[in-house]
Amino acid sequence: MFDAIAARGGAAAAVSDEAWLQAMLDAEAALARALAAAGLIEEAAAEAIAAACRADRFDAAAIAQGAAGSGNPVVPLKAALTEAVEGPAAGHVHRGATSQDILDTAAMLVTARALEPLLEDLRAAAHAAAELARAHRDTPMAGRTLLQQAVPVTFGLKAAGWLAGLDEARRWLVEIRLERLAAQLGGAAGTLASLDDAGPQVLSGYAEALGLAEPAAPWHTQRGRIGELASALAVTAGAVAKAARDIVLLSQTEVAEVREARGGGSSTMPHKHNPVAAICALGCAQQAPGLAAILLGAMAHEHERAAGSWHAEWRPLGELLRSTGSAVAWLRESLEGLEIDPERMRANLDLTGGRLMAERVAAELGGEAAHAALKADDFPAAVAELVGEERAAELLDPAGYLGSAGAFVDRALKDHDREG
């Protein structure tokens, strides 16, 4: 019922039940090939196992049901895979591994695959923000602090702020994808004792076959990788939420400074043009902190293998990838179709009768004279009486009090363009 909203973009498909099943099978296939490369089993046996590792050959529902008996889905999967492999090769299925090796590795594969569309949407959203910043580098609008008009800013600076947040989040996720998504292979208690002294060689071949980083040692109960991933996804969702909330606020009827090209209507109020994409981005993004908190709270694992904390990770990890990916996909849609109204921005700058320029006037006149002018019914006239009409017009022109806004936009764009 809610997937059209909460499962937006490609990340959702990458964390489906079928995707998890295939990721576990990919880990089993890579293990068999690594064992063969180390000379522990015949290459033909490894290929027989790998050939059977196709999700469409297995009943995912039956495996899920079987997980209740062992506490994880790898045990029933191993049994089903062993049955699917013909001949003596069946005896080498899962050799040297423990259930956590396969499921942790699958989690890393699922994450890597979910990050591909998520990062693509994040890059596109950042590009859209960059184009808005570039096009409106010098478009003045009211800056707002505590939801009240403050001093003038530019829409370019606001969009550059969105851009910086998205770019920073993307850099962190790329770093995690390249360096922190590691294969897991340690056997029963992290020693790979059943492989004698070939353990490190098998681990190396296993990681290489999977396209994952090779850890220095098994990380069964060292969950920093999961914690970093959870934090990076939550920060990404936060960057999305910041931009989405701004868009929602700027779209209000009374403000009307931006408008989504494909806004949505109401079931009872046909006049409405709701910023649906930004609203959905915000709704998805706001789920991330709680999910990340579960993963961070589950980092304390007992001794060599955890009792419960490991199990607590599985669903929140998939849901965090799904919700963050959906939030990014929705924000991309919002930004790529965002329409800007510079005339409305200029009109809103005049709502306070020039008083948002009080800081500049105070710098020119001094505090007491400025405060006296602010108390006047006609602030511009009071300023003109003190400095003359020509100087008053300069002091009260929002476009003349933008400080380094343009320079900061240029810096954000340069930083973005450098990375492509």
Strands 140-145 and 338-340: unpaired
64 Cβ neighbours under 8 A, 6+ residues apart: 17, 73
Is the full-model pTM beyond 0.85?
yes
Task: Choose among 177, 50, 25, 208: nearest CA to 102.
Answer: 25
With residue 147 as reference, give the H or E element that holds it: none
Query: Distance (Å, rounded) from C-alpha 381 to C-alpha 230?
Result: 56
Residue 152: strand, helix, or coil: strand
Q: Catalytic one among 57, 266, 404, 411?
A: 266
Q: What are the structural domain ranges in the chain?
A: 3-343, 350-419
Strands 258-260 and 140-145: unpaired
Q: Catalytic one among 245, 259, 305, 355?
A: 305
CA angle in degrees (0–180, nearest 5) for 61-63-65: 70
266 is catalytic: yes
CA dist 344 → 169, 253, 320, 347, 400 (Å):
32, 11, 38, 5, 18
- Please give the DSSP secondary-structure letter assigned to residue 378: S
| 3-343 CATH | 1.20.200.10
Task: Divide the 420 residues of the chain into consecutive groups of 10 and give the mean pLDDT of each group.
Answer: 91 96 98 98 98 96 94 97 96 97 98 98 98 98 97 98 98 97 97 96 98 97 98 98 98 97 70 90 98 98 96 98 98 97 97 94 88 91 95 96 98 92
With residue 253 as reference, give the H or E element that holds it: none
What is the CB neighbour count within 10 angstroms for residue 312? 14
Query: Distance (Å, rounded) from C-alpha 119 to C-alpha 174?
Result: 8
Query: Distance (Å, rounded) from C-alpha 286 to C-alpha 281?
Result: 9
